[in-house]
Amino acid sequence: MIVYVKGDLLNDDAEALVNAVNTVGVMGKGLAYQFKEKFHENFLIYRDVCKKELLSVGKVLLVETDEGSIPNYIINFPTKAHWRGKSKIEYIEEGLNDLIKVVKENQINSVALPALGSGLGGLPWSQVERVMLDKLSNIENIEWRIYAPNNTPNLRKKLPLTEGRSILIYTLNYYLRMTKKQQLTELEIHCLMYLLQCNGLSLTGIKFNEFREVPFSDVLHVALSKMDGDFLYISGVNKPIQSSFITLESKIVVEAKKLLQKKVEKIKKISDVMELISGYESKDGMAIISTALWVANENKNANVDLANTTLDIISNNFNSSNGVVKGAFVRLYEEKWLPLN
């Protein structure tokens, strides 16, 4: 059974408390430091195990406390290899498997857990929460007490995968394959979907009637937030769009591909966008080519220097030059996204 709890995990009366750690024996910040201060014997054992290189990600270290005391156990859970590094979701998945095994072997009935890897580790809580729910919700006769960030558990129903959402997921996955990266910024998403709309494939309700460093849709921004935890994971909520990173849920990518497999015309439009942006697959590149098209579309009947206007708009936020901007316009003309005069 899973229970969301508010308050201080260190004061929980569960039989076992989970401490998120690294594998090099350092408890220097955050909750781990508080564990070090309150349960110093646990820290000494943990540090000794790390010195002997006996602790690795994917494995937990169970330390028994003084007989008769609460908690009975501290379970040190590596969410990262080095304290300077970042957590990875596979570390959480593998570690939870071992945690379940250790808890069952020691007949522990209640466990209090922090938001593993989503604090200093840098993982989106929505992603970590989904993994924790998947792993722990069906374990019988054990109470898992989860201390969620800001005490705001995600209790809403899962969103349905519509055609529009499938188009978005398919497009983002296509782009990520081109960049060979695991995540992209929200800024790049706005650029991609603006280009897709200009190519005749609009998603219901999404309009780009603002410009915030790039063509921007408030409806798209809200839609991404709603999809967080179901179809994608946002790291950097409430940050500027160039600092908000998004990772796709791999299972949803497969489902989106299946849903669109017979939508040949729509897939062709997505492919056309990817052909246009070849060589521009970066935050700066996407800003340049989407802004160039925006400026051209907004000044169809005006006698303005499109390249200089574009450069003036983006120069404060992105690395560019007159030559690079002119190159973007050449690409737009060559690919027939803009009419030749």
Q: Which residue has the tokens 């706005």?
A: 190
Give CA–CA dist 320/310, Å, rounded. Answer: 10
According to DSSP, the β-strands at 110-113 and 16-21 are parallel
Helices marked H in 110-248: 125-136, 163-179, 186-198, 218-227
Structure tokens at 248: 């796709």
Considering Cα of 248, then 252, then 256, then 258, what sign does the dihedral take? positive
Structure tokens at 95: 């570690």
The answer to whether the CB of 89 falls within 8 A of the CB of 135 is: no
The strand pairing partners of 214, in sequence order, are 212
According to DSSP, the β-strands at 210-212 and 214-216 are antiparallel
Of 288, 268, 297, give the one whose Cα is nearest residue 331: 288
Distances (CA, A) of 249 to 2, 86, 126, 226, 233: 23, 19, 11, 14, 7
Catalytically annotated residues: 80
Phi then psi dihedrals of residue 163, to 5 deg: -65, -40
Give CA–CA dist 119/292, Å, rounded. Answer: 38
